[in-house]
Chains A and B, each alone.
Chain A
Amino acid sequence: MRRTILAGIVLVTGLVVLLDLLIVNPSLGDAAGAVNELLVLLAAAAAVGGGATLVAHHARNLAAGDGDSIGSVVLLLGMAAVLVAGLRPGSSGSADPAVLWLIAALLAPIAASLFALLFIFVLGAIRRGFVLRVRETSLMAAAAAVVIVLLLPLGGQAGDWLAAGAGWVRDVPLAGVFRGLLIGIGILVAVGAARSLLALDRDDD
């Protein structure tokens, strides 16, 4: 019975959102809007719960002397800084200049420096790939080498040929592979979503 009720709720809400996508109707729009508002509320509640769990986990680590104490302290201080900036009296919340400064001056550079490590990690991954499966990795490395050669910053006739070759690689084989992948993904997403929506998957335990 519980499964039937759940499947019914999922089916009705899914159909409301789908119909709102296809049909412009004020009542339908209001219903779909209410469902979306509920989702925002649920996500916000889960985010608060997750944040509280994170704080509790690292506070427990600090109290017990387990794990990375410095990391736990930095994380708790960081969370406290953002919360104080966003919730202090007179603050304008997530759009407060102090919150925006913390994001622009601290979080964005940290994330950028993290992503700067990608080049090194890609090389490491290629080395590991040669250990795991030589044939596929050789093919990928060869393709990457060809693309690097095509993108060399050369001028003159040779540069024009390389640029035209790079454009052809991007527009024909690469785009073809991507479209194939996306079509396959799209079909399986639709199948998976429909199976979930109709509760077709076996609940055998």
Chain B
Amino acid sequence: MPNLGELAAYLVGLVTGAIGASSMRLGAASTVATLVVLLALLSLIARPGARWTAADLGGLSRVGRVMALAAESGADATVSLGSAGIGRAASAIDRFQTLAALPLLGHVADAAARAGVPLRVTTNDAVAALFARATLAGAHQRTATPERASAAAVEYVGEGRPAAAAFALATAQPHGVAMVAGSLGEEAMLLLDGVLGDAEWSLAATASASQTAGPLLSGDGTLTGPELFQAAGDLGPAGHARTAVLAANQLIWAAVGILLAGSLITWAGGPQVAAFLTGR
């Protein structure tokens, strides 16, 4: 029967073995620097009350009023979550902009739900569509307006940045409130013009440095560069965790369905669906 000393020796051997089988990918200095920056950052933001408060970024405080005006005039509201998505092949910063846009969507959705204004959200990424749907559901739950949930819709417009721009131009019409928030690429002007167009009030927000001019030229309210993340933090994304849970649940059920269907198709001698979907 092994004694405590043998167990300790085994654990020490396990750890030293794991360390011995490892090496630093970036070198000692870079690794230490990364960890120090990370620790400093975490200690900074983990303090209670460490919330950035600022001026009325992007004129977000006006959303409630302009939504009420839209309700009076019978207009609708539309939101585009940019063109990078969450599950698409884009850079991490681009995709994180879509996540940062969700609190803004929640803010607009809250106002739309209270005012009874139909809200349509468009995105070119199916994962972002799931998150947006969960955000809208959360807004109707927060505002206790489940009877108005059918007036809010999320529309997946197809894959690719050109698809987002083309859809926006093809469906351009006057809106009461219009917002584009998220990453933008070279299609920025097309998307902004198609979505914001002749809206009574519009907000354009992106942290894509190369497309900063687009929001400045197109939106009544603008959030450029770091302001997109700052505004999202200022709003206090209520229901953040629940949004992720709802979206994750839908994804898991979809994955199970795909696994079963793909297995049955392959078993029946059909094409390799999984290989086609993942491009392998």
CB-CB under 8 A from A132, the residues of chain B are 217, 219-220
A45 to B257, CA, bound (A): 8
A159 to B4, CA, bound (A): 82
Contact between A194 and B244 (Cβ–Cβ < 8 Å)? Answer: no
CB distance from B35 to the nearest CB of A (A): 8
Contact between B162 and A45 (Cβ–Cβ < 8 Å)? Answer: no
Interface string of B223-236 (1 = CB under 8 A from A): 00110111011001
Is B18 positioned at the interface, with any CB of A under 8 Å from its CB? yes
A48 to B236, CA, bound (A): 32
CB distance from B23 to the nearest CB of A (A): 5
Is A31 positioned at the interface, with any CB of B under 8 Å from its CB? no
Is B266 positioned at the interface, with any CB of A under 8 Å from its CB? no
For A118, give its contact among B166, B189, B245 (CB under 8 Å).
B189
A95 to B272, CA, bound (A): 13
Contact between B207 and A87 (Cβ–Cβ < 8 Å)? Answer: no
Contact between A68 and B170 (Cβ–Cβ < 8 Å)? Answer: yes
Within 8 A of A (CB), among B221-280: 225-226, 228-230, 232-233, 236-242, 244-245, 248, 250-252, 254-255, 257-259, 271-280
Q: A23-B22, A129-B216, A200-B45 are in contact. Are A3 and B190 (CB under 8 A)?
A: no
Contact between B25 and A22 (Cβ–Cβ < 8 Å)? Answer: yes
CB distance from B126 to the nearest CB of A (A): 3
Is B212 positioned at the interface, with any CB of A under 8 Å from its CB? yes
Within 8 A of B (CB), among A126-174: 126, 128-129, 132-133, 136-137, 140
A126 to B189, CA, bound (A): 10
Stretch at the interface among B64-72, B74-82, B93-101, B174-182: B93-101
A187 to B46, CA, bound (A): 15
Q: A42-B127, A46-B87, A124-B193 are in contact. Are A26 and B100 (CB under 8 A)?
A: no
Interface string of A34-46 (1 = CB under 8 A from B): 0000011111111
**Interface of chain A, main secondary structure:** helix
A199 to B251, CA, bound (A): 20
* Smallest CB gap from A25: residue in B: B22
CB distance from B96 to the nearest CB of A (A): 6
Contact between B255 and A121 (Cβ–Cβ < 8 Å)? Answer: no
Interface string of B1-38 (1 = CB under 8 A from A): 00000000000000000100111111000010011001
CB-CB under 8 A from A192, the residues of chain B are 96, 99-100, 229, 232-233
* Smallest CB gap from B47: residue in A: A200
* Smallest CB gap from A47: residue in B: B126
CB-CB under 8 A from A107, the residues of chain B are 160, 162
Q: A45-B255, A49-B254 are in contact. Are A201 and B22 (CB under 8 A)?
A: no
Q: What are 7 A-B interface contacts by the 8 Å CB criterion? A: A22-B35, A43-B87, A71-B170, A86-B276, A88-B271, A110-B162, A188-B226
Contact between A117 and B207 (Cβ–Cβ < 8 Å)? Answer: no
Is B55 positioned at the interface, with any CB of A under 8 Å from its CB? no
CB distance from A184 to the nearest CB of B (A): 4
CB-CB under 8 A from B142, the residues of chain A are 205
Within 8 A of B (CB), among A1-46: 2-3, 6-7, 10, 18, 21-28, 39-46
